[in-house]
Chain A
Amino acid sequence: AQRVTQPEKLLSVFKGAPVELKCNYSYSGSPELFWYVQYSRQRLQLLLRHISRESIKGFTADLNKGETSFHLKKPFAQEEDSAMYYCALSGRSGGGADGLTFGKGTHLIIQP
């Protein structure tokens, strides 16, 4: 069975400090991993996916198959980064919108 674990329900950091949101997964094959973000009063939207290897809004995430992790990082947090972040997994490469398994989410608060 596939599972996504986000150990932190809430993460509070000061503006300008580094941010790391943790995500660990359990899956027997080669999954595709994503980070979704939900800003206040907005809909859930894709932030980044591991196969694109992009940096979006200063965020990066590296898939570590040995540690089965896909942590989200940003070197200098900004107040507009405050949001709910969800890590998600698809069991199929190219399955960006297949049935996704989501973690419970981490509420990131950036303090001024």
Chain B
Amino acid sequence: DAGVTQSPTHLIKTRGQQVTLRCSPKSGHDTVSWYQQALGQGPQFIFQYYEEEERQRGNFPDRFSGHQFPNYSSELNVNALLLGDSALYLCASSLLGRLGINTEAFFGQGTRLTVV
């Protein structure tokens, strides 16, 4: 099991552009969360997807959107990029299941986004 995989590993975009980041969850997991980690900070929760719906959302603007596919993989989209969006974007997967107990989150290595 490769665990949580994210692509690409690094990305450079220009201010105003749009970006899509991808995440494949750990085998057996049904829930994907996205976090933004700025330099010197802890991860900040963006949103979580379960059954192809946004289940929870942190304090991020609508420029940040996501999607979950039937195979549980997920995409994070950011529109109208700002310099301040430069960060490491982490994906975490977990198993929520029907009991609603969200088990341990397993993190990917992240995508380093640089906006210039």
Residues of A within 8 A of B (CB): 4, 6, 43-46, 49, 86, 88, 92, 94-105
Contact = CB atoms under 8 A, between A and B. Distances in A.
Contact of B92 (A86, A95, A97, A103): A97
A104 B41 contact: yes
A15 to B, nearest CB: 27
Contacts, number: 66
A46 to B, nearest CB: 5
A101 B108 CA distance: 18
Contact of A99 (B40, B58, B106): B58
A46 B45 contact: no
Interface residues of B, number: 32
Interface string B1-44: 00110000000000000000000000000010101000011111
B40 A97 contact: no
B101 A44 contact: no
Interface string B49-75: 000000011100000000000000000
7 contacts: A44-B43, A44-B107, A95-B101, A96-B105, A102-B43, A102-B44, A104-B40
B111 interface: no
Given A94-B102, A102-B43, A104-B40, 16 more contacts: A4-B42, A43-B108, A43-B110, A44-B43, A44-B90, A44-B107, A45-B107, A86-B42, A88-B42, A96-B101, A96-B103, A97-B31, A97-B96, A99-B47, A100-B105, A103-B42
